[in-house]
Amino acid sequence: MGVDPMAIYHHLPSKAAVLDGVVEILWSEVQPARFAPDVPWTEQVLMAMRAFRATLRAHPRPVTVAGTHPAVTPGMLQLVDRSLGWLTEAGLDPAEALDLIDCLAFFTMGQVLAEVGEPAGGESTPPEAVHRSLDPEAYPHLAAVFANGYDYHPDEQFEAGITALLAGWQLRRS
């Protein structure tokens, strides 16, 4: 006799509660170190987002769930509260710090989803095949960049994006 996959719902109030638990477990692996006063807050935030990205990449299946379930469980709330405290100690306004946490977390989740996520509806034509067959008259800029050997580098793209977000955030504050 097999296990009834719905049996877990007899112990939890809903499917959403199960998914919140999955996200709670995922977030529990993200444990940023205590902010050090001698290290700029921007560098410490970068280290935390790199660690978050590594955790998400290690567990790609729940990335979509993590991106669509707000921080409502005690562990998630504690992590956000602790991070918010560190950023306000570093001089950020509390509301601004929470916006920054959201912005960086959503960027990181989106980047990881693009790297490891399974296409909705299943696989389609591989992008490389489409890129090789681009009509230069219809898509001159795309055809040129792919003809010149463009290659996707997710690590470099993540670093460029997260660094730009933080630089823009700092400019916005000045």
- Residue 2 confidence (pLDDT): 52
H helix and E strand count, the chain? 8, 0
17 or 1: which carries more pLDDT confidence? 17
Banded pLDDT at 1 (limits 50, 70, 90): very low
Distances (CA, A) of 32 to 36, 52, 65, 170: 11, 9, 21, 21
Q: Are 67 and 106 in contact (CB under 8 A)?
A: yes
Domain boundaries, the chain: 7-173
- Residue 71 confidence (pLDDT): 75
The Cα–Cα gap between 165 and 173 comes to 12
pLDDT above 90 covers what percent of the chain? 34
Select from 1.10.357.10, 3.40.50.150, 3.30.1370.60, 3.20.20.370 the CATH code of 7-173: 1.10.357.10
Average pLDDT for 61-83: 84
- pTM (2 d.p.): 0.82
pLDDT per position as a tens digit, 30-62: 776 666 778 888 988 998 899 889 999 998 888
